[in-house]
C-alpha cells in the first residue's frame, strides 16, 4: 500500500523545479496533490502527469502574495477536500536587480512578499485545517541563505529566508501541542529556473554539479514519511562542489 495513501498535500510553486519534482514524488506514494502557482499551464502539465499515473491532482492557481487568493485556495481545500495533511511551502522568487544599489521600494516589496509574506499567509490558512485533525506537517523550502549571509543571493532574499527559518521554528513552539510539525529545508544551489534570474549566467557544467530538483524531492519525501512523533526541525542539503568554498580556496591559493 502506498505510504501516503489518503493524505492531502498542498504544494506551492508546484509547476516547476523543486515543487514539481516533490509533487510527483509525493503523488507516487499515494498522496492527493493540490498544485498552486501563478501560471496555470505548468500546473496543469504536472497535474496531467500525476493523473496519468493513476494519482489525484487538483489545480488551484493563484498569486500567493494576495491574501484573497490564499484564502480562496484554503477554502477550496477545506470545503472540497476536507483535510490537509502536508503543506509544502515552496514558492519563491528572485530578481536580477537584487543588490542595494539597484533595489527600489517596489522590488523590495516584491522580494519580501514573494519569499516571506506569501509563505506566512499559506501557513495561516493551513493551520486551522490541520488543527481539526490534531495532525499536520509543514515543510518550507528556504535556502542556505536563510542561515548564512553572503553576497550573491541578495540582501532581501537573504532576509526573507532568515524570516522563513524563524517562522518555521515558531510554528513548532506553538503548534506542537496540536500535533503539527514544521520543518525548514535549506538547500544550497539548486539547478532550477530561478538561476536564470542571476545577474551572472550559470553554465550547464556548473548546473550539473549543483543539487538537482529530484535530490530535493527525495529529501522532502523522507521528511513527509517520518512518524508523527518526530519532527525534523531544520535540514540542509548542498552540493559537494560548493562554489562558495571553491572560490574561497582559489582566493587563498592566489595569496
Model confidence over 68-90: pLDDT tens digits? 999 999 999 999 999 999 999 99
List of residues 6+ apart from 25 with CB closer than 8 A: 214, 217, 218, 220, 221
Reported as a single tens digit per residue, the pLDDT across 14-56 is 999 999 999 999 999 999 999 999 999 999 999 999 999 999 9
Phi first, then psi: what are they for 252, rounded to 5°? -65, -40
pTM: predicted TM-score of the whole model, two decimal places = 0.94
Reported as a single tens digit per residue, the pLDDT across 166-203 is 999 999 999 999 999 999 999 998 988 767 666 677 78
Residue 251 has pLDDT above 70, yes or no: yes
Reported as a single tens digit per residue, the pLDDT across 42-52 is 999 999 999 99
Query: 200: which 3 cell numbers?
Result: 551572472
- Encode 90-108: b = buried (16+ Cβ within 10 Å), e = exposed: bbbbbbeebeeeebeeeee
Domain 8-253 carries which CATH code? 3.40.50.720
- Integer Cα distance of 132 and 252 in angstroms: 56
Tell me the domain boundaries of the chain: 8-253
Amino acid at each position: 500500500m502506498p505510504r501516503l495513501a489518503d493524505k492531502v498535500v498542498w504544494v506551492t510553486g508546484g509547476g516547476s523545479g523543486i515543487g514539481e519534482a516533490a509533487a510527483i514524488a509525493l503523488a507516487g506514494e499515494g498522496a492527493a496533490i493540490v498544485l498552486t502557482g501563478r501560471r496555470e499551464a505548468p500546473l496543469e502539465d504536472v497535474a496531467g502527469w500525476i493523473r496519468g499515473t493513476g494519482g489525484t491532482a487538483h489545480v488551484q492557481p493563484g498569486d500567493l502574495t494576495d491574501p484573497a487568493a490564499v484564502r480562496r485556495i484554503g477554502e477550496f481545500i477545506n470545503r472540497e477536500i476536507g483535510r490537509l495533511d502536508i503543506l509544502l511551502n515552496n514558492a519563491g522568487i528572485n530578481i536580477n536587480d537584487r543588490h542595494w544599489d539597484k533595489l527600489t521600494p517596489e522590488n523590495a516589496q516584491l522580494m519580501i512578499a514573494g519569499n516571506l509574506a506569501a509563505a506566512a499567509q499559506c501557513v495561516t490558512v493551513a493551520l486551522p485545517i490541520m488543527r481539526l485533525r490534531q495532525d499536520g506537517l509543514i515543510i518550507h523550502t528556504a535556502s542556505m541563505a536563510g542561515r548564512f549571509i553572503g553576497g550573491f543571493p541578495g540582501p532581501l532574499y537573504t532576509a526573507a529566508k532568515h524570516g522563513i527559518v524563524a517562522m518555521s521554528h515558531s510554528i513548532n513552539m506553538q503548534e506542537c501541542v496540536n500535533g503539527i510539525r514544521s520543518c525548514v529545508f535549506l538547500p544550497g544551489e539548486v539547478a532550477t529556473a530561478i538561476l536564470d534570474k542571476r545577474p551572472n549566467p550559470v553554465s550547464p557544467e556548473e548546473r550539473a554539479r549543483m543539487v538537482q530538483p529530484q535530490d530535493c524531492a527525495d529529501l522532502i519525501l523522507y521528511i513527509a514519511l517520518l512518524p508523527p512523533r518526530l519532527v525534523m526541525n531544520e535540514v540542509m542539503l548542498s552540493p559537494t562542489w560548493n562554489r562558495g568554498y571553491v572560490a574561497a580556496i582559489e582566493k587563498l591559493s592566489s595569496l
